Amino acid sequence: MIGGRVPAIVATEARHRLRAVGNSGGQAVALAIGGLFGVVFALGVAAGAFFAGELVADGSIADPLAPLGRTVGFAVLFPAALTAIRTAQGAAGPTCPDHVLLAARHREVVAGTLGVEWLVQSTMLGVAGLVAGVAFAAGAGSPASAVLVAVAVAALLSAGVAVGLAVGLGVRLAIARSRLLARFKTAVGVAVLLAYLAVAASGDQARVFAPAANALAATPVGWIADLALLAVAPGASVLRAGGALLAASGTVLAAGGAASWLADRLWYETPVDPHGTDTDTDTGRTGSGSGMQPVPGVARQTGFVARKALLRAVRSPIRLLYVVYPLFALAGPLSNALGGGSVPGAAVPGVALYLAWAAGAAFTLNPLGDETPVLPTTLVAPITGGRFVRGLWVAASGIGVPVALAAVAVIGVAVGLPPVDLVLVVALAAGLTALAPGLALGVGAAFPRTEPARVTRSRRAVVPSLFAFALYSLPLFVLSAPAVALSVGPGRATVASLAGVPAPLLGGAGVAGRRRLRIESGDRRPGVADGRK
Amino acid sequence: MRSPQAIEADGLTKRYGDATAVDGVDLSIPPGTVYGFLGPNGAGKTTTIRMLATLLRPTAGTARIAGQPVTDRAAVAPHVGYLPESPPLFDELTAREQLQYHAGLQDLPGDEAADRIERLLDRFDLAADADDRIGTYSKGMQQKTALVQALLHDPDVVLLDEPTSGLDPRAARTVRDLLAELAAGETTVFLSTHILPVVDELADVVGVLSDGRLVAEGDPDALKGRAEGGGTLEDVFLDVTGDADLAAARPEEP
């Protein structure tokens, strides 16, 4: 039996989240911008709903139940996915679990969490649904439709949020019980994110998610279309509408019960130690002895700083998640290039530039901030600033240069770069990756950041400041632009043309400048795409 | 020529705008002393320690550690070990790696560092867990690891901010024994803590800071004899920090 503490939990948690957003200038601005887009989106939805209402009313759409029924599946799936992601990331749980779980039963906390998430989703999706309902009712000339659509939206949201909460708690419980999942949860999360971005960039979301949405639409929950159109669609059934409400209610109860069962097992048990072994007496062992050894060829103190930086990066890669952010922006162009069957040669020096940037951003862009946990003792230790920053540079270039060389060489060969271009691009990769960490060091030392920031919904870490990112990235891109441009044929041809010098002076640009690299249905063969193939 | 005091301060002052955190503190602590540094929350103890550790530049006054001015960090660094309030450790490293890293920063020779690390890990019952990541440690284990780190390079002066915080009675006893051993040699221990029995047991000299000023200093027994409440270090503390009424109201011990 759910007690009377649920409203208090909902109110307190909602107040906490509102104040957290209000206290964070960045979040408030992001929310305001999101709200602005939300208004534009709602206006678009309202306009569409209005015209749909008119079409239904004048009989232009003979059977509106069928298309709306298919939409219902997505309308459940979307809030369910959002809630599942938020819950799995730890963003949907109680803020002070120990305190709340001492004061209330876990099922009350689950109900409270469900209520808060329902409010969150209602703010984002429910308002748009209500506006659409009113607009549809106006277009159809049926005031009752506004109420029916509102009830339908509320039912869809409730079912979706409840299912999402149960799924999210299930994911968390699996991670809490499986050492393997716990160990690789970050990698799995990033892989899922990249997979989604690839789907989004391809524009195939509807096709990819259609099977799940259609399956949902085929259940009694799909009858919610009857409920929404009861006042205007001749084929809408009162029985099915009632059945949809019962099905939605049943879904909420069943998913809520499952969430409660999962929460009981999640919140009151100690999660596995991801770095431990299967024996309780041997938890947290690295398994490979000490990773802290001197680095040959560099001063002892410098070597230890480099080892420390590498060990921390390998053991806590989530701290460096920001390094892959540029890849998200590149997902679309890359997907288009691959989808079109051709990869421009200019992309290869772009890879070299990105890897150089990443090496600097990961290891040297916040030299003092990265040391935050031990900064007092490091500052008191007799190590010079020069040796310390050289250690970070050794880590950045020690891992960055080989990775950049290998990646650029492999990609260059795969896309069929001419030998001259290949040599130049590999040299570019080595040079940039060796130099970029030095630039990052200068910027990072001048503009350190020691306060932790949120890197995922449930994880905070000390990351470089936005100002440092900008001050590092812009000069790096500007200063490296000439070398990047001259490293491949098309770039050299363009530069030669602009400078009015013979292309061969810049290294074989006359031929290579017209080459475009093509990958056709798995057959990687270079071709000429300017009409001479 | 007179050998330098382990810790000397002359009019040490730290101001933040109009607020004075530490106000003209004078210290003269000979080598081998355990100096108990007491004071209520916000009295300026941590600010004083950070100035002595070269981490904070004094607004006025001077201070020296082993004869080296605290404005010259490179000169002071080899002589000082520092344990701040929060254990300065990386969660991602194991205790052994953390200590090896610190030994590396201290530029200790490899063999010597390895010997000391093993000895101190054994001493603090950490040897069995030394290859576990620090992120999996209890608060007490982290505190012990941080203490080992502060002592690793055998400094002349150790500045300890609440070293027994989070330790169980056995570990706290180990710390007290170790501090006594250090002081029996030539190591000077500057010990800031709220646990008065620890100070009572170990300290050769007690200094009490209140509102940034050193309001009492001396041998613990002599201070106890001067206290209005009479008898204990707690009475001294309450007396000199302005809580004499509280001290007087305290029931007599049986």
Please give the domain boundaries of chain B with CATH numbers for all domains. Answer: 7-218 (3.40.50.300), 219-254 (no CATH)
Name the band, by pLDDT with cuts 50, 70 and 90, for residue A502. low
Residues of B in contact with A303 (CB under 8 A): 104
Q: Which of B52, B56, B90, B111 is the mutation pick for testing A, counting most A CBs within 10 A?
A: B90
Of the given ranges (A41-45, A83-87, A271-275), which has the lowest mean pLDDT?
Answer: A271-275
The B residues from 47 to 66 touching A (CB cutoff 8 Å) are 50, 53-55
pLDDT at B63: 96
Closest to B89 (Cβ–Cβ): which among A284, A373, A380? A373
Reported as a pLDDT band with limits 50, 70 and 90, residue A286 is low
Min CA distance, B178 vs chain A (Å)? 20
Quickly state the pLDDT bin for A504 (edges 50, 70, 90): low
Among residues 106-125 of chain B, which lie with CB inside 8 Å of chain A? 106-107, 110
User: In three state form, how does the secondary structure of A12-80 look?
Assistant: HHHHHHHHHHHHCHHHHHHHHHHHHHHHHHHHHHHHHHHHHHHHHHCCCCCCCHHHHHHHHHHHHHHHH
Angle at B52 (CA atoms; ends B46, B57), nearest 5 degrees: 90
* pLDDT tens-place string over residues B117-138: 999 999 888 999 999 999 889 8
Between A290, A374, A376, which is nearest B90 by CB?
A374
pLDDT at A512: 39
Please report residues of A whose CB lies closer than 8 A to that of B88.
Answer: 373-378
**Residue ranges covered by each domain of chain A:** 5-267, 300-524
Average pLDDT over residues A518-526: 37
Contacts of A308 in chain B (CB under 8 A): 90, 93, 97, 101
- Are A316 and B92 an interchain contact pair (Cβ–Cβ within 8 Å)? yes
Q: What is the maximum alpha-carbon separation in chain B?
A: 57
Measure A458 CA to nearest chain B CA, in Å.
Answer: 17
The whole-number average pLDDT for the span B4-17 is 93
For residue B29, pLDDT over 90 is answered with yes
Q: How far is CA A373 from CA A370, A376, A379, B92, B161, in A?
A: 8, 8, 12, 11, 16
* B179 reaches A (C-beta below 8 A): no
Q: Quote the pLDDT of residue A260.
A: 93
Residue B249 above 60 pLDDT? Answer: no
Q: What is the pLDDT of residue B75?
A: 92
DSSP 3-state assignment of A264? helix
Nearest-CA distance B128 → chain A (Å) = 9
pLDDT digits (tens, 9 = 90+) for A36-47: 887 888 888 888
Give the percent of chain A with pLDDT over 90. Answer: 30
* Position A124 confidence tier, pLDDT thresholds 50, 70, 90: confident
Interhelix angle B169-184/B139-151, rounded to 10 degrees, is: 10
Q: Give the ipTM.
A: 0.84
The closest of A478, A476, A488 to A512, measured between CA atoms, is A488
Q: How far is A271 from A291, CA to CA, in rounded Å?
A: 26
- The per-residue pLDDT for A532 is 36
**Res. A514: pLDDT tops 50:** no
Q: Which residue has the higher pLDDT, A96 or A107?
A: A107
Position A374 pLDDT exceeds 90: yes
Q: In the structure encoding, which two tokens stand for residue A84, read together?
A: 């599942």
Q: Over chain B, what is the mean pLDDT?
A: 88
Q: Is the dihedral of CA A179, A182, A187, A191 positive or negative?
A: positive
The predicted-structure confidence for B38-92, as pLDDT tens digits, reads as follows 999 889 999 999 999 999 999 999 999 999 999 999 999 999 999 998 899 999 9
Average pLDDT in the A508-525 region?
38
- In chain A, what percentage of residues exceed pLDDT 70? 85
CB B115 within 8 A of CB B109: no
- Range with the largest mean pLDDT of A224-233, A517-526, B201-210: B201-210
Q: How far is residue A318's CA from residue A460's CA, in Å, rounded to a whole number?
A: 9
Amino acid A318: pLDDT: 82
What are A439-484's pLDDT values in tens digits? 999 999 999 998 888 777 667 888 999 899 999 999 999 999 888 8
Among B residues 120-159, those touching chain A with beta carbons less than 8 Å apart: 129, 131-133, 135-136, 149-150
Cα–Cα distance measured from residue A339 to residue A117, given in angstroms and rounded to the nearest whole number: 38
Answer whether residue A201 shows pLDDT above 70.
no
> What is the per-residue pLDDT across B103-121, written as a single tens digit (0 to 9) for each?
999 999 989 999 999 999 9
- Whether residue A112 is predicted with pLDDT greater than 50 in this model: the reply is yes
CA-based nearest distance B75→chain A, Å: 8
More confident residue, A216 or B246: A216
State mean pLDDT over A4-9.
84
Record the tokens describing residue A531, joined without a space.
């009409």
- Are A303 and A295 a contacting pair, CB within 8 Å? yes
Using CB atoms, pick whichever of B82, B107, B150 lies closest to residue A382: B107
pLDDT at residue A256, as a whole number: 94
Tell me which chain A residues have a C-beta less than 8 angstroms from the C-beta of B106.
381-382
Neighbours of A290 (CB within 10 A): 19
Residue B60 is encoded by which pair of tokens?
């006025």
CA dihedral B154, B156, B162, B164 (to 10 degrees): 40
**Mean pLDDT along residues A62-90:** 84
* A496: enclosing H helix or E strand: helix A489-499
